[in-house]
Amino acid sequence: MPQRVLVLNGPNLGRLGSREPDVYGSTTYAGLVERCTKLGAELGFDVEVRETNDEGEMIRWLHEAADGKLPVVINPGAFTHYSYGMRDAASQRTAPLIEVHISNPHAREEFRHTSVISAVASGTIAGFGIGSYELALRALATA
């Protein structure tokens, strides 16, 4: 049975393809889902991709992952910079958790330079567009 992996996306990521394509690229959210599930299957994973604009829902998903010992790839979106509740939920991880970002937050506005998630993540991958997710899945395959 393939290892289940959650790919969790925070606010506004469901608008990929139409939201600031100069920053986030032209791949749609559906394209992201397709790329993650296809690569996941090649790596022996059962990948489930989710997106929410609701901080509480994201925290519940992180609890689900911790309780189920599920690896997580997470793009917290704007929650990255201020959600201590999400940070505390991520710190309860029982399997690898990789933080990803499509753009390089350190090359953008100053408020994006701080991540409250990074300190409790297994690692962070940023700046490679949608490829950041693929790099994270490959890292999980070797973890």
- Domains of the chain (ranges; CATH) run 3-142 (3.40.50.9100)
Known catalytic residues are 24, 101
Cβ density class 69-86: b for 16+ within 10 Å, e for less? ebbbbbbbbebbbebeeb
74 marked ligand binding residue: no
63 marked ligand binding residue: no
Helix (H, G, I), strand (E, B) or coil at 125: strand
pLDDT tens-digit map of 2-17:
899 999 999 878 776 6
pLDDT tens-digit map of 107-117:
566 766 678 99
Averaged pLDDT for residues 77-94? 91
pLDDT higher for 54 or 78? 54
pLDDT at 25 over 60: no
91 marked ligand binding residue: no
- Interatomic CA distance for residues 135 and 53, integer angstroms: 24
